[in-house]
Structure 1
């Protein structure tokens, strides 16, 4: 708790994302982006937790996030992803997808390209609910059930699946460079293979029983067949998409809707979830002391970010701990990462030893010493 810095920002924060860092530099992330929602004027903002040349021992450096620049955003920011160190992709409640360029030299955000009404109904706009990037490609999904694939370097749409879903698609992630996975409002996961011309999913998985809406999904960074989801019932579900149509593990996580779930990109025996109930949980698979934390530095690309691809491989016993959800045997430990909260924690991101989250309490929390 002592290492948490809180910044009150006078707007509800819907999304937070760390700017990617170079693996070769071994740096901890310092810059992150936020998006707001439910405000008269919504914005995308860039922040730093760096000292900007001030020694941390000098007076005046308190470790709080400091604003660098901002840009007005049409509608609520429903998702936010860095395409690279300079470009930020936003998803809007107005149906638009926007590429914002961040100029590090003069600390400014500007619109690089925009698809204003990418998601729409016949007579109205439809919210764009989620975006995912694998540069130069961007994929967006929406309340209209569409999946749209864009090329950032060409400013064009390269594919649209018009009727991908009859219900709202809430989130999307890459499984591989040619496959994505979506989750929807009737508890389904759908896998889409872009090598196929068909506009039908290659696989459908679903929750049994009441089929609570699924709000979020993240793929294990080193085992593409393992994904974690969360939804309206606050349950954390872990799936192996190769083997069966229902989740391997169901764990009671939150008392209200789970808004985001993220594996740590370098140490995926750590996972983080946040919820409408005002909590942020750190999930950790405990391993015997003589067993190394698996896949340290597992990503082999030069930049580390949420959307990047990673190779397969890993310690099977720890992976099986995710799939069995054997918290009763002491393999899975959970820790509350925030002081007592009452309003929704809408978004989180984790990179290196740094965690950031945004809330409906108009606050950003940053922890630079997470135990991973």
Structure 2
């Protein structure tokens, strides 16, 4: 992977949804910054360098399309659709920006000030997730908001959803969301149910290590991945039990994001405060080679109670059906010489983008899947 200096610490990076075939190069990505006197949301144009053998030329031709100032740190950023971007701010606000293609500009389309707050002060909005016009936000105040993009008033607010900070949110199904919090809990919320209680609570055993990120398997929604403050990577089956089915000692510091590959979910990508960006491959049976022959790769057996694989089951369930004795997860560090925090990543097809505290964005367009 080759990087591009962007003059700002990148807290979030996302590919814009593709307009045509998912096989083509994503045309744009958005970044949000943090820890600056004036933070920004920027939109970047990629250049298809198909046939090049390195990413260097690819990155040199990646250019900024437009940018806009952002009040507070960008805590999260998601595309609502091809034209609209939603951000979560450290000020507690939630903002919808519109990209004007004709004159390549960004403008504020909608904003909810103080969507998250404590009794005497604002509280950072830590994470958000979009599905069509629906926007769900969570924050350090333990509050969950349900917004519609074109409505000023929230559809619903759960004021006392959690007594600790809610750190990340994603959809489980159309009417259900997953949240993770600062005491090691994974919760399912059903918006069809009244009240402020989750439908289900799952917990890490032992020390209540904060969970920072969550993602669900794109095809099998009962399979969920989380990452925590101690760098541990967890796989959960929300159909059974209340604890993760496997825990892997992964990064040496906080894991900031975890993403299943959207079309090849046996592959998972994680990034960390320790400066690493890992590609996890559960579809292979890694050979038992000495470590000096692994060329920077690491192999882990899955811990916990893992059922034996059924040859009739889909490969997409490899995270659950690995043989505990033979199954290995093959791991490749895509930024092996890096030291500063990798805060965010996004992946589509063979294209991965990540943002760092070194004021650089890295892209690869030749992932091995």
TM-score (norm 1): 0.87
Q: Distance in 1 between matches of 2:324 and 2:254?
A: 21
Selected match of 2:2 from 1, 5, 8: 5
CA distance in 2, matches of 1:316, 1:188: 30
Give the whole-Å Cα distance in 2 for the aligned partners of 1:88 and 1:326. Answer: 42
The 8 Å contact of residues 284 and 330 in structure 2, kept in 1 or not, is answered as no
Tell me which of 206, 209, 229 is aligned to 2:206.
209
Q: Which residue of 2 aligns with 1:304?
A: none
Q: Distance in 1 between matches of 2:163 and 2:241?
A: 23
Of 149, 153, 160, the residue aligned with 2:150 is 153
2:39 corresponding residue in structure 1? 42
- The reply on whether 1:22 has 2:19 as its aligned counterpart is yes
SS at match of 1:62: helix
| CA positional deviation for 1:179 | 0.1
Structure 1 residue aligned with 2:292: none
> Using a 3 Å threshold, how does the CA distance of structure 1 residues 337 and 202 change in structure 2: closer, same or farther?
same
Cα deviation, 1:36-72, whole Å, max 9, x if unaligned, reads: 0001100000011125xx9988xxx931221111000
Q: CA deviation at 1:90?
A: 0.1
Structure-2 separation of matches of 1:266 and 1:23? 16
Alignment map for 1:53-202 (pairs within 5 Å): 62-64=57-59, 65-202=62-199
Q: Which runs of 5+ in 1 are unaligned?
A: 289-314
Counterpart for residue 341 of structure 2: 344
2:281 matched residue in structure 1: 284
Residues 228 and 284 of structure 1, relative CA distance in 2, 3 Å threshold: same
Residues 283 and 318 of structure 2 are in contact (CA less than 8 Å); yes or no, is this contact kept in structure 1?
no
For the residues of structure 1 that align with 2:193 and 2:66, how far apart are their CA atoms?
A: 42
The 3 A distance-change label for structure 1 pair 207 and 82 is same
Task: Give yes or no for contact 2:188–2:198 (8 Å, CA) kept in 1.
Answer: yes
1:249 to 221, 246, 250: 246
Q: Which has the higher contact order (CA 8 A, sep 6+)?
A: 1
**Is contact 1:42–1:76 with CA below 8 Å preserved after alignment?**
yes
* Cα RMSD (Å): 2.0
**1:263-278 residue pairs with structure 2 within 5 A?**
263-278=260-275
Equivalents in 2 of 1:330, 1:200: separation in Å?
38
Superposition deviation, residue 26 in structure 1: 3.8
Which of 351, 356, 359 in structure 2 is aligned with 1:359? 356
Structure 2: unaligned runs, 5 residues or longer: 286-311
